[in-house]
């Protein structure tokens, strides 16, 4: 979506705001995993499974011709990998099952460890046996307390810097 010089000033301003003030400009060929695509619009269309990508693109171009305004350029691009149909009743691949089992095991370990930590009275983890320390290493309660507690020998500004970089990392991956 692009507003050219022929567009009304109010329309150019609306497109400019919609694209976050042209903070980042991108094209269809840019990789989407890092560069935010604020100059593109993403639509989802439900079409019959018999339609291929070129037919969907031609139909979308034909549909959008009736909505073209002077000074607005809309260039729909449908690539072959963008079209897919829902498969019903498919069996998950073996490696997917292994991955789900692994993360399910970690989740169960965290739940059990948190329950043991909550129901037991372990004041000092350093004095515990190695086996008990290994179990408590996955305790959500104990790890949360370690994350949010402040020590006197820390610089408080480090927490702010860490927060800013966490937000920047999230924005780089999600926007």
CA atoms of 11 and 72, how far apart (whole Å):
8
Name the pLDDT band for 132 (thresholds 50, 70, 90).
Answer: confident
Structural domain includes residue 89 = no
Q: 34 and 172 in contact (C-beta within 8 Å)?
A: yes
Q: 171 and 148 in contact (C-beta within 8 Å)?
A: no
Q: What is the mean pLDDT of residues 13-37?
A: 62
Return the residue matching tokens 């060929």: 29
Do 51 and 99 belong to one domain?
Answer: no
CA atoms of 120 and 136, how far apart (whole Å):
11
Four-residue CA torsion sign, 175, 58, 80, 2? negative
Do 9 and 66 belong to one domain?
Answer: yes
Do 17 and 60 belong to one domain?
Answer: yes
Do 145 and 165 belong to one domain?
Answer: yes
Domain limits at 103? 94-174
CA atoms of 119 and 113, how far apart (whole Å):
10
- Model confidence, pTM: 0.44
Which pLDDT belongs to residue 42?
A: 66
Strands (E), 55-144: 72-73
Do 65 and 126 belong to one domain?
Answer: no
pLDDT in tens, 30-61: 655 555 555 556 677 788 878 888 888 888 88
Do 26 and 65 belong to one domain?
Answer: yes
In terms of average pLDDT, the best of 33-42, 64-73, 116-125 is 116-125
Do 64 and 106 belong to one domain?
Answer: no
Q: What is the DSSP letter of 11?
A: H
């Amino acid at each position: 979506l692009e507003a050219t010089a022929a567009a009304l000033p109010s329309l150019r301003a609306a497109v400019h705001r919609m694209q976050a003030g042209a903070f980042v400009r991108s094209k269809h060929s840019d990789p989407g995993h890092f560069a935010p695509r604020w100059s593109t619009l993403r639509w989802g269309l439900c079409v019959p499974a018999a339609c291929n990508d070129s037919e969907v693109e031609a139909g979308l171009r034909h549909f959008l011709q009736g909505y073209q305004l002077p000074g607005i350029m809309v260039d729909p691009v449908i690539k072959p990998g963008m079209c897919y149909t829902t498969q019903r009743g498919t069996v998950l691949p073996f490696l997917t099952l292994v991955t789900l089992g692994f993360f399910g095991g970690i989740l169960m370990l965290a739940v059990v460890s948190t329950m043991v930590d909550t129901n037991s009275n372990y004041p000092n983890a350093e004095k515990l046996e190695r086996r008990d320390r290994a179990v408590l290493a996955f305790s959500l309660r104990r790890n949360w307390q370690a994350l949010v507690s402040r020590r006197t020998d820390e610089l408080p500004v480090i927490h702010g810097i860490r927060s800013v970089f966490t937000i920047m990392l999230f924005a780089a991956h999600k926007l």
